Structure 1
Amino acid sequence: MGPLQIKELLQQTPDGQSVTLKGWVRTKRESKNAIFIALNDGSTIHNIQAVAAPGQFSAELLLTVTTGSCLKITGQLVESQGSGQAVEVKIEDIHVYGAADPDAYPLQPKRHSLEFLREIAHLRPRTNTFSAILRIRHTLAFAVHKYYNDRGFFYLHTPIITASDAEGAGEMFRVTTLDLEKLPRTDEGAINFKEDFFGREANLTVSGQLEGELGAMALSKIYTFGPTFRAENSNTTRHLAEFWMIEPEMAFFELEDNMDLAEDFIKYVIGYALENCKDDLAFLENRLAEEDKNKPQNERSIPLLEKLNFVVENAFERLTYTEAIDILLKSKPHKEKKFQFPVGWGIDLSSEHERYLVEKHFKKPVILTNYPREIKSFYMKLDDDGKTVRAMDVLFPGIGEIIGGSQREDNYEKLLERVHEVGIDPETIWWYLETRKFGTAPHSGFGLGFERLVLFVTGMSNIRDVIPFPRYPKSAEF
């Protein structure tokens, strides 16, 4: 199974046992009494210190042991003579797998800006910040699968290539094998997609929801967890062109059941990270605190662990969209015209409105329900008043909306009417409509953008820093 990882070695009781280390050099320093090499293999935020005596190895060999070099070290695990670690390795042999040119290697032992690190995304996982983020990302993904598996959900793989637009936004990436220099044309001059690979227009999916609903109509409880794509020309800190979505769909769940599941799920996965990523979260909390030292007091962030525990320990406040609008209209920021965007029934709430409700008014996470039908998707179940739909959004501190969902419209005639209203050709989603004709049932679901979750849990400020290789306008480098 290979050598023990550094994470495991750091937990061993030292008694001079022989060990083998493999990893990358973080730092090397020499004194008249010893040579110290800090090695990291990505298994933990912590390095292990390996110590050699002066003159033990040739100067030629030591010249190749520089920051970024990859080594195999064998030696004895002993009690550390210095502070900060319980064990260290007394080196007996060094093998250099790959040296790093110290004049060219861009990751030196100093603080680098996040903007610079995005330019070297092939190397940034070697930094403390990004190795911590990627370990937390893994833990959250594992927690997602564990949560749903343990509760009787089935993991459904929905298509990445699709001919439908679940959101009706039209901002999709086209998939084609047509020769762009010799596009086939119809008699009317339009591109003839019948000549394309699938015989029709095809795109990368924006959501697995519609297909997920089909699964729920047979398996009762399913979830999807896969890549989704939006061809939105947005350069904000909250948008990516390629991201991952978690979308459970449940037969026989109504709006209240959907809210219960969303709250329990997100508390579980954040709690799982708090329990299993303590060192990485502590590092990121300290990093955030250092950044905040240079900000005015009123712009500083909530300490990371306090923010995460805030979510886990509080029951989410539940209220309707209409009640939320009333609160906002009576709020001090609205009366003093401090909101950037206007408030009124029928608006699509902005992040500043959502954060006011969470951070200032209720001081806890919030679930808003029953939004105006005009600002929500066609598939949401119409309320009895005919004006609102059984939608729900979960709002978090510092981020605003993190989950969006609804009870789905299960009445065929009402759904077909909404499809016509929003301008969707029923023929393109005939299969989706047909489930309402053959054994329809109440059902609900929601979507959680995985990177939004990782952004919240890590305390990072830009979504491009919580996915290994971000895709956004004018950038697909790695």
Structure 2
Amino acid sequence: MTLRTVSELLSQEVTNVEIEIKGWVRTFRANRFIALNDGSTLNNIQCVVEFENFDESLLKRVTTGAAIQVKGELVESQGKGQSVEIQVKELEILGDCDPETYPIQPKKHSFEFLRENAHLRTRTNTFSAVMRLRSSLSFAIHKYFNENGFYYMHTPIITGSDAEGAGEMFRVTSLDPQNLPKDENGATDYSKDFFGKETNLTVSGQLEAETYAMSLGKVYTFGPTFRAENSNTSRHLAEFWMIEPEVAFMDLPGNMDLAEDFMRYVIKYILENNREDLDFLNDRLLNEEKTKPQAERSEMSLIEKLKFVSENNFKRVSYTEAIDILRNCKPNKKKKFKYIINEWGADLQSEHERYLVEKHFKCPVILFDYPANIKAFYMRLNDDGKTVRAMDILFPGIGEIVGGAQREERLDVLKEKMAAINIPEEDLWWYLDLRKFGTAVHSGFGLGFERLVMFATGMSNIRDVIPFPRTPQNAEF
């Protein structure tokens, strides 16, 4: 007898067949109806037990959370809510679950409580749906790049460079903190460390990806990155995943084309392949919105937001034009914005980005040509000397989701920009070599994977879209 999944059985058209299934008990009603789930779908399958056919001591062990094996006949369901059910002939307890201590009882739990039990939270409908969507998005990302001629590369997690120049990095060392070696100036002597120099966890794989783009043409990374930013907001993690494509001979307009096509592809993929989970999360979000004051409610449902991205062309707007729009809009003039836009050069906040997307243009927006002083050193300086060929993609409900740029391919300009923010040339000698040996126009972008999963699932806290969140004062599990 072939072991089947709940998903397979619920889509089965043939009934009155013998089947075998394993899963975890969600509920056991009236000593007769077992709701069984194996993670393959949001839905449970009902297993009907005839009490007189089984030992009472065995049935007492069928508790919420217990792992069981069922053998029986798949029949047309006599009740409402499901098309088929299982008439149980054999029942085996694979793993008992103590009902007194099992935390995931069949009742409503707060997300904070579930974060404290992150090892078990995917046994709830919400988190199983979120993590299935996370898996599908991962697959869609690899599928897109594979279909478009990109090579997947693994950039190092341990690095001696700071790609963002922000300095918020986690140090990696094998030195004994109680007995640090010192140099002649009394500072820690990192020449005695494992790598012979000061090293950190990476904040980005971009710089290394650029080296491979300049030989393989089109590459992408998809891996973990780390920021030692002491922030406890709902949008920040200390450990998260980044998608970073880099393409040789591609300018800023080409970069915008790639990013738009990519984002629409992955959103369309989950709309076509994960509709059951999306519909559940859409309903969850609609019920949550009903509890909010009218003024705070979203104008679009989750499904509407996803279609808003997949079915609309992205509007391309220069930073300068966006500043003019924001400076003259009603929320700014009436001081409804938390951050008032007064002059060119302001760093846009989420409220400004969302206004452009949701109120002004009513479609996803790509902003480009940002002020150089609010962007990273590796971005290509425009001829005006004050803007760089950067671009950000803005989505409804979330604001910026993608950040990218045409990279600075000119050796002299890149050296000047590094010197201006005190990045020693010897730290990035290999990066500068790319501009010495066959330099060329090239571009890329970065997408925080968890930010994408938040958008795709409607979850409002980034801690709820990664299996085991790492945040300040929290490295549990």
Q: Contact 1:23/1:70 (CA < 8 Å) preserved in 2?
A: yes
CA distance in 2, matches of 1:284, 1:2: 32
Q: Are 1:288 and 2:285 matched, yes or no?
A: yes
Aligned position for 1:207: 204
Aligned position for 1:475: 474
- In structure 2, runs of 5+ residues without a counterpart are none
Q: Contact 2:2/2:19 (CA < 8 Å) preserved in 1?
A: no
Q: Contact 1:14/1:79 (CA < 8 Å) preserved in 2?
A: no
Please state whether the residue corresponding to 1:222 is helix, strand or coil: strand
CA distance in 2, matches of 1:431, 1:279: 48
Q: Are 1:261 and 2:235 matched, yes or no?
A: no
Aligned position for 2:372: 373
CA distance in 2, matches of 1:112, 1:132: 16
Aligned position for 2:408: 409
1:40 to 33, 37, 41: 37
CA distance in 2, matches of 1:263, 1:178: 46
Q: Contact 1:394/1:404 (CA < 8 Å) preserved in 2?
A: yes
CA distance in 2, matches of 1:2, 1:468: 31
Q: Contact 1:71/1:94 (CA < 8 Å) preserved in 2?
A: yes
CA distance in 1, matches of 2:53, 2:265: 51
Aligned-partner residue type, residue 181 of structure 2: P
Aligned ranges for residues 147-166 of structure 1 at < 5 Å?
Answer: 147-166=144-163
Q: Using the TM superposition, give the Cα deviation of residue 54 of structure 1 relative to its aligned residue in structure 2, in angstroms.
A: 2.4
Q: Using the TM superposition, give the Cα deviation of residue 297 of structure 1 relative to its aligned residue in structure 2, in angstroms.
A: 2.0
Aligned ranges for residues 40-189 of structure 1 at < 5 Å?
Answer: 40-189=37-186
Q: Deviation digits for residues 260-291 of structure 1, max 9, x if unmatched?
A: 00000000000001000000000001111111
Aligned position for 2:7: 7
CA distance in 2, matches of 1:423, 1:206: 18
Q: Using the TM superposition, give the Cα deviation of residue 316 of structure 1 relative to its aligned residue in structure 2, in angstroms.
A: 0.6
Runs of 4 or more consecutive aligned structure 1 residues displaced over 2 Å after TM superposition: none
CA distance in 1, matches of 2:351, 2:185: 48
Q: Contact 1:10/1:86 (CA < 8 Å) preserved in 2?
A: yes
Aligned position for 1:463: 462
Q: Are 1:390 and 2:389 matched, yes or no?
A: yes
Q: Deviation digits for residues 41-80 of structure 1, max 9, x if unmatched?
A: 0000010000011222122111110100000000000001
Aligned position for 1:230: 227
Aligned-partner residue type, residue 168 of structure 1: G
Please state whether the residue corresponding to 2:317 is helix, strand or coil: strand
Aligned position for 2:17: 17
Q: Contact 1:154/1:223 (CA < 8 Å) preserved in 2?
A: yes
Q: Using the TM superposition, give the Cα deviation of residue 231 of structure 1 relative to its aligned residue in structure 2, in angstroms.
A: 0.4
Aligned-partner residue type, residue 187 of structure 2: A
- In structure 1, runs of 5+ residues without a counterpart are none
CA distance in 1, matches of 2:121, 2:161: 36
Please give the root-mean-square deviation of Cα atoms over the aligned residues, in Å: 1.0
1:303 to 297, 301, 304: 301
CA distance in 1, matches of 2:371, 2:63: 61
Aligned-partner residue type, residue 187 of structure 1: E
CA distance in 1, matches of 2:2, 2:220: 35
Q: Deviation digits for residues 394-428 of structure 1, max 9, x if unmatched?
A: 00101010000000000000001000011111110
Aligned position for 1:27: 27
Q: Using the TM superposition, give the Cα deviation of residue 124 of structure 1 relative to its aligned residue in structure 2, in angstroms.
A: 0.2
Q: Are 1:331 and 2:329 matched, yes or no?
A: yes
Q: Deviation digits for residues 85-138 of structure 1, max 9, x if unmatched?
A: 111000001110111111111111111110110000010011100000010000
Aligned position for 1:419: 418
Aligned-partner residue type, residue 4 of structure 1: R
Aligned-partner residue type, residue 391 of structure 2: M
Aligned-partner residue type, residue 333 of structure 2: K
Please state whether the residue corresponding to 2:104 is helix, strand or coil: coil
CA distance in 2, matches of 1:225, 1:3: 34
Please state whether the residue corresponding to 2:305 is helix, strand or coil: helix
Q: Contact 1:16/1:77 (CA < 8 Å) preserved in 2?
A: yes
Aligned position for 1:437: 436
Q: Deviation digits for residues 343-367 of structure 1, max 9, x if unmatched?
A: 1211110111111111111111100
Q: Deviation digits for residues 144-163 of structure 1, max 9, x if unmatched?
A: 00000000000011000000
Q: Contact 1:14/1:87 (CA < 8 Å) preserved in 2?
A: no
Report percent identity of matched pairs.
Answer: 64
Q: Contact 2:2/2:20 (CA < 8 Å) preserved in 1?
A: no
CA distance in 2, matches of 1:455, 1:363: 20
CA distance in 2, matches of 1:15, 1:313: 40
Please state whether the residue corresponding to 1:93 is helix, strand or coil: strand
Aligned position for 2:311: 313
Q: Contact 1:354/1:395 (CA < 8 Å) preserved in 2?
A: yes
Q: Contact 1:67/1:108 (CA < 8 Å) preserved in 2?
A: yes
Q: Using the TM superposition, give the Cα deviation of residue 2 of structure 1 relative to its aligned residue in structure 2, in angstroms.
A: 6.6
Aligned-partner residue type, residue 305 of structure 1: I
Q: Contact 2:18/2:74 (CA < 8 Å) preserved in 1?
A: yes
